Amino acid sequence: MAPAIAASAVLLSDQQIRALVSKKVFFGHKSVGGNIIEGVKELMAADPRLKLNLVTSADPSSVQGPALIESEIGENGIPPSKNAAFAGVLRRGMGPRGGIAMYKYCYVDVTDSTDVPHLFKEYRQGIESLVAEHPSVRIIHITVPLTTVEPAPKAWVKEVLGRHTARAANIKRNEFNRLLKQTYAADSIFDLAEVESTLPDGSRSYFSSGTDRIYTLAEEYTTDGGHLNELGRKAAAERLLTLLANI
């Protein structure tokens, strides 16, 4: 596993940074989302141009002016709780000028036993209602984060013994992410799973399942198989800030 490296200046132009710091954004998350926020803080410390108003609050309407507002929402392992918590945040409001809002599921929300079509249907229906109710809010969609996986022989033994495997769970996460990307425009998606599976040299971490390529969290980006180390959270934070700057 590659060691974590210090965060360098974010690869954003001055124009992109000016656009970024002028926006009001809400980000609801758990665990891996906290890793990404830590990555944002590290990028801010490394680049004096990046002067974001970073606020922790589940009530964006209480925050005046442009800001990146973040909060934990819902309970891990219970995706409907995150849907409901995000809807509650938007009901409280983003403020008179609206803004950008997003939330993410965690890898523990999608397991090998998840009914992915049902989960995605609930997500899509909830988003459709929120779009209709809050026309001044631009909603960004986030792919489900991934985990590392066990070697194929170990996974086979687990399957024979009737045990859960990380490979089977990642197949489900990839399925949800395909549905998300088939449904929403690319410029409205923060593809966290792509970041997690793509190394700096452009190569991807994956295994094959039949004819499908199943993307996984690169081992270089984690110390525990699920959460992001300094290298991983920097990559994710930079991709997120770039997306937000270009909206």
Position 240 pLDDT exceeds 90: yes
pLDDT of residue 157: 57
CA within 13 Å, CB half, 90: 26
| 3-state DSSP assignment of residue 231 | helix
Position 9 pLDDT exceeds 80: no
pLDDT tens-digit series, residues 48-103: 999 999 999 999 999 999 999 999 999 999 999 999 999 999 999 998 889 999 99
Ordered by where they begin, the domains of the chain are 14-246 (3.40.50.1110)
pLDDT of residue 160: 57
| Token pair in block for residue 20 | 């970024």
Residue 126, burial from CB neighbour count under 10 angstroms (0-12, 13-18, 19+): middle
Least confident of 8-12, 81-85, 223-227: 8-12
- Over range 124-142, report the average pLDDT: 97
pLDDT tens-digit series, residues 151-166: 665 655 566 567 679 9
- Mean pLDDT (the chain) is 93
